[in-house]
């Protein structure tokens, strides 16, 4: 297989480990834990895995371990560093006993249920060290939540002599990992389940999990390209660039990229919701920045938009909910109507408030809202071209202001969507080290007989040698939430906190960034070179950890 020079050099990179994990370790037990909320209900649902203590690994005496087999699953969207979690896990279990074996389940949780797996041997692992992607075994979005799936999984785990299963996933996958851990514990099947925090979205984090892996590399990849666009923009001085950034619901990616590149505008969905802003409020805010810059002779700029924005605009949320219900009940009638009359039909059927909003939307977006449904009958908001929606509406507003003599500039827009470009990038040193440490820590949790824990590596703004490795009971991160009409135990999703340091730092500077051209050009991720260039954590982490 042909490899690039960087791939060859990067294969030899030895990820940095916390000092405590370099030799033999012992598990130091902390205090018993409680769930973040709804303690009684969570305890009742997880009698075997509730209330367990926090664990920290510290240097200890070497011990002998009987041979064991371990399974691993990659779940959900790709995130840079997944291969290093697996290589850290592999090296960890081999160090415990060279006879230990690692099995990977193919294409996500579905591989466990369908008994689709392969043994991950040293030569396979070596091919994937420090590489991006999840292609070593593939990933998938099958939800592991039903008893018959757990039983099908048990069949193959028993057949392969697997003692522990590591599930690498986001909040939902780790919630399901905990449900599986509880199920196997209740049944006395002797199979441990350990989770690892993954997602570029950065929304799986709490007091004990400082960040999810992949967020660092993905944001650095997007920020490199945003910086390049900003420089182009500041060179030609003729375009407004509207850039949509991935992140299904939380705006952590947009916020981090804003902190790295200092654009003229960055919308944060959580703020839009908290301030009960309408679509028109968002459009007016952007148009005002455009007009103010035009008054200074600057007819150019950059705007960052989080992917999930539409669902956070309260009025849009209400419109989408009514549309979902209406189309679920009247889909056939709607589909029988000629395409050019569908818009008018919907306008005539919705409640007055929603009908007015729908009528105000550009043709293309209105069509996307009424056509694209996922298998559950919901609008696929990620398919909505919010960047085009906003620039079109800003353009209209500016044209109106021009007539009123309130604006006298030129507005020409370019559109971009950065998402998939960053999910499989070669992991930054931070993610390469962090992921390897998470995988290695998972092997230590297994060796210590733990189940229902998430691998945790903390103190991540310090040099890697000082990182603190351990385990957090997954039940500690849970609360009860209404999902599909039922109350369910789930890991709390971490949205952007408006009173958190990253948002406050952004809010304090955004007016200056709007007016001035204060762009920062982060450049590409550096894999070799001085530590201050290669090992820097995200601005989000730096601001959150600055005490």
Contact assessment for residue 54 and residue 76, using Cβ atoms and an 8 Å cutoff: no
If one asks whether residue 246 binds ligand FBP (CB under 6 A), the answer comes out as: yes
Span of 7-15, 244-252, 344-352, 463-471 interacting with ligand FBP by CB under 6 A = 244-252
Spatial distance between the Cα atoms of 357 and 86, rounded to a whole number of angstroms:
48
CA distances from 162 to 33, 72, 91, 181, 212 (A): 28, 10, 17, 14, 26
If one asks whether residue 261 binds ligand FBP (CB under 6 A), the answer comes out as: no
Alpha helices in 262-372 (DSSP H): 269-274, 279-295, 309-312, 314-336, 339-349, 352-360, 363-371
Rounded to the nearest angstrom, the gap between the alpha carbon of residue 413 and the centroid of all alpha carbons in its chain is 28
Query: Which listed residue (71, 77, 202, 301) binds ligand FBP by CB under 6 A?
Result: 77
CA angle 313, 206, 246 (to 5 degrees): 40
**Closest CB to ligand FBP among residues 79, 541:** 79
**Closest CB to ligand FBP among residues 373, 515:** 373
Q: Give counts: helices (H), strands (E), the chain.
A: 22, 15
CB of 197 to ligand FBP, least distance (A): 10
CB of 77 to ligand FBP, least distance (A): 3
Contact assessment for residue 332 and residue 368, using Cβ atoms and an 8 Å cutoff: no
CB of 424 to ligand FBP, least distance (A): 11
* Subset of 475-534 contacting ligand FBP (CB under 6 A): none
- From the candidates 171, 201, 203, 431, which is the catalytic residue? 201
CB of 53 to ligand FBP, least distance (A): 29
CB of 244 to ligand FBP, least distance (A): 11
Nearest residue to 450 (alpha-carbon basis) of 85, 153, 30? 30
Spatial distance between the Cα atoms of 416 and 424, rounded to a whole number of angstroms:
18
* Subset of 269-288 contacting ligand FBP (CB under 6 A): none
* Subset of 322-381 contacting ligand FBP (CB under 6 A): none
SS3 371: helix
Span of 93-101, 245-253, 383-391, 537-545 interacting with ligand FBP by CB under 6 A = 245-253
**Closest CB to ligand FBP among residues 382, 386:** 382
CB of 76 to ligand FBP, least distance (A): 3
Q: What is the greatest pairwise CA distance in the chain?
A: 81
Site string for ligand FBP, 286-315 (x = CB under 6 A): ---------------------x--------
Element (H, E) at 265: strand 265-266
Nearest residue to 81 (alpha-carbon basis) of 10, 18, 131, 137? 131
**Closest CB to ligand FBP among residues 55, 389:** 389
CB of 61 to ligand FBP, least distance (A): 39
Whether 201 sits among the annotated catalytic residues: the reply is: yes
Span of 61-69, 74-82, 325-333, 459-467 interacting with ligand FBP by CB under 6 A = 74-82
**Closest CB to ligand FBP among residues 100, 173:** 173
**Closest CB to ligand FBP among residues 233, 490:** 490
Spatial strand order in the sheet of 117-119: 25-32, 53-59, 468-473, 453-458, 192-197, 162-169, 69-74, 101-105, 117-119
Span of 75-83, 151-159, 231-239, 455-463 interacting with ligand FBP by CB under 6 A = 75-83
Spatial distance between the Cα atoms of 50 and 53, rounded to a whole number of angstroms:
9
CB of 167 to ligand FBP, least distance (A): 12
Spatial distance between the Cα atoms of 284 and 269, rounded to a whole number of angstroms:
16
- 333's tokens: 């009638």
* Subset of 156-215 contacting ligand FBP (CB under 6 A): 170, 199-201
**Closest CB to ligand FBP among residues 233, 246:** 246
Span of 6-14, 240-248, 394-402, 493-501 interacting with ligand FBP by CB under 6 A = 240-248
- Count residues contacting ligand FBP (CB under 6 A)? 13
CA angle 77, 493, 464 (to 5 degrees): 70
Span of 2-10, 242-250, 479-487, 500-508 interacting with ligand FBP by CB under 6 A = 242-250
If one asks whether residue 439 binds ligand FBP (CB under 6 A), the answer comes out as: no
Spatial distance between the Cα atoms of 158 and 190, rounded to a whole number of angstroms:
9
CB of 358 to ligand FBP, least distance (A): 24
Query: Which listed residue (16, 248, 252, 510) binds ligand FBP by CB under 6 A?
Result: 248
String of DSSP letters for 269-283: HHHHHHTT--HHHHH
User: Please, which residues have CB within 8 angstroms of residue 178's CB and are 6 or more apart in sequence?
Assistant: 46, 49, 193, 195, 452, 474, 475, 478, 489, 491
The residue ranges that bind ligand FBP (CB under 6 A) are 76-77, 79, 170, 199-201, 246-248, 307, 382, 423
Q: Which residues are identified as catalytic? A: 201
């Amino acid at each position: 297989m042909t490899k690039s020079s960087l791939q060859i050099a990067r294969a030899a990179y030895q990820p940095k480990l916390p000092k405590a994990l370099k030799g033999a370790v012992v598990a130091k037990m902390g205090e018993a834990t409680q769930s973040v909320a709804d303690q009684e209900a969570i305890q009742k649902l997880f009698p075997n895995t509730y209330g367990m203590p926090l664990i920290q690994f510290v240097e200890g005496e070497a011990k002998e371990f009987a041979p064991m087999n371990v399974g691993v699953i990659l779940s959900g969207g790709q995130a840079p560093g997944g291969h290093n979690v697996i290589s850290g896990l592999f090296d960890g279990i081999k160090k415990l006993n060279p006879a230990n074996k690692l099995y990977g389940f193919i294409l996500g949780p579905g591989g466990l249920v369908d008994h689709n797996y392969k043994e991950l041997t040293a030569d396979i692992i070596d091919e994937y060290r420090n590489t991006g992607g999840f292609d070593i075994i593939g990933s998938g979005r099958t939800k592991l939540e039903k008893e018959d799936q757990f039983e099908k999984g048990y069949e193959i785990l028993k057949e392969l002599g697997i003692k522990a299963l590591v599930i690498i996933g986001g909040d939902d996958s780790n919630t399901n990992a905990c449900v599986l851990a509880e199920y196997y514990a209740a049944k006395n099947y002797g199979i441990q389940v350990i989770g690892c925090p993954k997602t570029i979205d950065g929304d799986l984090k709490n007091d004990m999990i400082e960040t999810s892996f992949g967020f660092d590399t993905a944001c650095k990849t997007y920020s490199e390209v945003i910086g390049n666009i900003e420089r182009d923009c500041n060179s030609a001085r003729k375009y407004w660039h509207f850039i949509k950034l991935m992140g299904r619901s939380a705006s952590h990616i947009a916020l981090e990229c804003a902190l790295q590149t200092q654009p003229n505008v960055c919308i944060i969905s959580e703020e839009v919701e908290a301030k009960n802003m309408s679509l028109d409020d968002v459009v007016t805010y952007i148009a005002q920045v455009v007009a103010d810059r035009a008054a200074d002779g600057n007819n150019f700029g950059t705007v960052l938009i989080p992917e999930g924005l539409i669902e956070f605009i309260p009025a849009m949320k209400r419109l989408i909910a009514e549309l979902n219900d209406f189309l679920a009940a009247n889909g056939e009638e709607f589909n029988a109507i000629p395409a050019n009359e569908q818009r008018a039909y919907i306008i005539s059927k919705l409640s007055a408030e929603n009908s007015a909003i729908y009528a105000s939307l550009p043709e293309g977006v209105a069509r996307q809202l009424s056509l694209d449904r996922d298998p559950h009958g919901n609008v696929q908001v990620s398919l909505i071209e919010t960047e085009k929606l906003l620039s079109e509406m800003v353009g209209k507003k500016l044209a109106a202001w021009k007539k009123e003599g309130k604006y006298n500039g030129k507005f020409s827009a370019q559109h971009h969507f950065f998402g998939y470009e960053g999910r499989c990038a070669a992991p930054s040193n931070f993610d390469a080290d962090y992921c390897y440490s998470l995988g290695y820590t998972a092997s230590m949790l297994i060796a210590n007989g733990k189940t229902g824990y998430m691998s945790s590596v903390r103190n991540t703004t310090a040099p890697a040698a000082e990182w603190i490795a351990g385990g957090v009971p997954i039940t500690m991160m849970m609360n009860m939430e209404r999902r599909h009409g039922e109350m369910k135990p789930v890991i709390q999703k971490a949205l952007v906190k408006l009173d958190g340091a990253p948002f406050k730092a952004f809010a304090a500077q955004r007016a200056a960034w709007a007016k001035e051209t204060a762009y920062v050009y982060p450049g590409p991720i550096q894999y070799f070179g001085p530590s201050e260039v290669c090992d820097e954590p995200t601005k989000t982490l730096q601001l959150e950890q600055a005490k």
